């Protein structure tokens, strides 16, 4: 990459344009298939979430060519719109994959963009895998290289560049055109953590915007629209306006080391900042026999980063599902009462249960400024009505590279997700789709994925 010193965008575009399925190590190919299954499954479950139907209807009313499929609901629409709607569904339940160190959700941006174009243009399964891997890898490397975290939602801010590159790869564009697509994406780079702080539905839209805009950026570049060639390091580029990037970290091992292998597949349908607290709660419930009726009050100690996203007082309000997904008090209270944490526990009726609301109000958040972790540890201390004190600390979260989800556990999660949502699948239908995804490299035309 020495010939590209000083222009990160050119280096990434050249790598993405050259990447072939045959270049990918077997472990990366298998991981792409796992990520495809996981993301489609959580999107299917998310199709029934608040806000999805009105956004779908709005997209349908705009009409256009029937190019790409709408997951769960069926029907087709223009590729950018399909990427947008599918991206919102994939992000709706916060059940999607995440990279804990990079703090980005690559798959809810990259997959909707790439699959929309793969269906539109009839890509083979192998071409689809190559484009998908390129997009994920670029976003993870950009996320890891960010030098400041003032409150940008980097999944979407950086995700639009990765989506544009992956879309360009799916369209078989050369490196110059992919570089222009990423230059177009600079004008669409946006996203903030404020929707998370305020528990609003636009949290689900930001990654969907990035997926849609990435597709459009690639299509515009292919049509001959010129854009900044130095979208990251230019005088008014990303680094000057948003945050510095460590170019060396982005490019180190590119093409030989695949960071997508270190993505986390979530066990719980909740913001990742809640998972350590859920683990600590289930430690007390399942292994030490604690029951919700025993609890007088509790304190959870978490880091400032975690508290910013999930530490506010729990108030279901007008968006109960989002409020639950971003509340550590709700997460603990639900796990105490139900002795688990599943997709069912973030449905509006479950969130509004008076028993869980009352219990959540007895849980206090203690912010430990000495803790620098983004997602762990979390320590839960419970005081019982008899005066006893029980405590548990979770330092390792299931689904992370340190505790990876097995293939069997992933199939179990995916089957459960496919059985709910706007159009629940039968068990046989879910099994057929899972089997097809596990052999996606054999598909000659990605339109046949859903056949």
Check residue 4 and give its pLDDT: 44
How does residue 6 score in pLDDT terms, banded at 50, 70 and 90?
Answer: low
* Predicted confidence band of residue 414 (pLDDT cuts 50, 70, 90): very high
Q: Please state, in angstroms and as integers, the Cα–Cα distance from residue 260 to each residue in 32, 112, 264, following that order.
A: 8, 17, 9
Integer-rounded Cα radius of gyration of the chain: 21
Task: Note the pLDDT of residue 374.
Answer: 86
Give per-residue pLDDT as tens, 169-227: 999 999 999 999 999 999 999 999 999 888 889 999 999 999 999 999 999 999 999 99
pLDDT value at residue 235: 96
pLDDT at 196: 86
Average pLDDT score over residue span 18-34:
98
With CA atoms as reference, report the closest residue to 417 among 203, 196, 266.
266
Confidence check: pLDDT of 2 > 80: no
Q: What is the C-alpha separation between 149 and 242, in angstroms, rounded?
A: 10
For residue 439, pLDDT over 80 is answered with yes
Domains in the chain with CATH codes: 2-267+406-450 (1.10.4100.10), 272-394 (3.30.1330.120)
CB 19 within 8 Å of CB 416: no
Lowest mean pLDDT among 2-11, 214-223, 276-285, 290-299: 2-11
Q: pLDDT category, 5, cuts 50, 70, 90? A: very low
pLDDT band at residue 372 under the 50/70/90 scheme: confident
Residue 125 has pLDDT above 90, yes or no: yes
Tens digit of pLDDT for each residue in 52-107?
A: 999 999 999 999 999 999 999 999 999 999 999 999 999 999 999 999 899 999 99
Considering the chain, what is the average pLDDT of its residues?
Answer: 95
3-state secondary structure the chain: CHHHCCCHHHHHHHHHHHCCHHHCCHHHHHHHHHHHHHHHHHHHHHCCCCCHHHHHHHHHHHCCCCCEECCCCCCEECHHHHHHHHHHHHHCCCCCCEECCCCECCHHHHHHHHHHHHHHHCCCHHHHHHHHHHHHHHHHHHHHHECCCCCECHHHHCHHHHHHHHHHHHCCCCHHHHHHHHHHHHCCCCCECHHHHCCCCHHHHHHHHHHHHHHHHHHHHHCCCCCCCCCCCCCCCHHHHCCCECHHHHHCCCCCCCHHHHCECCCCCCCHHHHHHHHHHHHHHHHCCCCHHHEEEEEEEECHHHHHHHCCCCCCCCCHHHHHHCCHHHHHHHHHHHCCCCHHHHCHHHHCCHHHHHHHCCEEEEECCCCCCCCCCEEEEEEECCCCEEEEEECCCCCCCCCCCCHHHHHHHHHHHHCCCCCCCCHHHHHHHHHHHCCHHHCCCHHHHHC
Q: Give the least confident one: 33-47, 308-322, 392-406.
A: 308-322
pLDDT at residue 318, rounded to an integer: 77
What band does 1 get if pLDDT is binned at 50, 70 and 90? very low
Residue 319: per-residue pLDDT? 83
Tokens encoding 219: 């299509």
Give the model's pLDDT for residue 122: 97
């Amino acid at each position: 990459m020495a010939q590209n010193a000083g222009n990160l965008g050119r280096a990434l575009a050249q790598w993405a344009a050259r990447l072939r399925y045959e270049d990918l190590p077997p472990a990366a190919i298998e991981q792409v298939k796992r990520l495809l299954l996981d993301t489609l499954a959580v999107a299917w479950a998310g199709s029934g979430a608040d806000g999805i139907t009105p956004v779908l209807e709005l997209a349908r009313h705009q009409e256009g060519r029937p190019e790409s499929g709408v997951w769960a609901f069926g029907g087709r629409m223009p590729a950018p719109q399909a990427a947008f709607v599918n991206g919102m569904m994939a992000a709706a339940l916060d059940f999607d994959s995440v990279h804990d160190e990079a703090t980005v959700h690559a798959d809810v941006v990259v997959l909707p963009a790439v699959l929309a174009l793969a269906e539109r243009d009839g890509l083979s399964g192998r071409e689809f895998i190559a484009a998908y891997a390129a997009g994920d890898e670029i976003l993870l490397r950009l996320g890891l290289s960010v030098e400041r975290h003032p409150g940008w939602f980097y999944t979407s801010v950086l995700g639009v560049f990765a989506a544009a590159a992956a879309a360009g790869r799916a369209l078989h564009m050369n490196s110059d055109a992919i570089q222009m697509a990423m230059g177009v994406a600079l004008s669409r780079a946006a996203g903030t953590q404020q929707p998370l702080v305020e528990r609003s539905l636009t949290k689900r839209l930001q990654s969907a915007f990035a997926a849609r805009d990435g597709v459009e950026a690639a299509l515009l570049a292919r049509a001959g629209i010129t854009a900044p060639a130095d979208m990251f390091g230019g005088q008014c580029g990303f680094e000057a306006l948003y945050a510095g990037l460590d170019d060396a970290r982005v490019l180190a091992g590119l093409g030989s080391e695949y960071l997508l292998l270190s993505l986390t597949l979530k066990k719980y349908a909740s913001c990742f900042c809640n998972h350590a607290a859920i683990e600590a709660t289930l430690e007390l419930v399942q292994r030490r026999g604690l029951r919700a009726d025993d609890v007088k009050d509790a304190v959870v100690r978490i880091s400032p980063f975690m508290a910013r996203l999930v530490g506010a007082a729990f108030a279901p309000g007008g968006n109960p599902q989002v409020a639950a997904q971003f509340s550590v008090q709700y997460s603990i209270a639900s796990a105490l009462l139900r002795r688990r944490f599943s997709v069912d526990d973030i449905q509006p009726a479950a969130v509004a249960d008076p028993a869980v609301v009352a219990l959540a109000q007895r849980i206090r958040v203690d912010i430990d400024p000495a803790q620098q972790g983004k997602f762990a540890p979390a320590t839960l201390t419970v005081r019982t009505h008899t005066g006893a004190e029980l405590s548990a600390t979770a330092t390792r979260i299931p689904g992370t590279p340190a505790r990876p989800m097995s293939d069997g556990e992933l199939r179990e999660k995916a089957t459960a997700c496919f059985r709910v949502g706007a159009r629940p699948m039968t068990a046989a239908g879910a099994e057929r789709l899972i089997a097809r995804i596990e052999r996606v490299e054999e598909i000659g035309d990605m339109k046949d994925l859903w056949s």
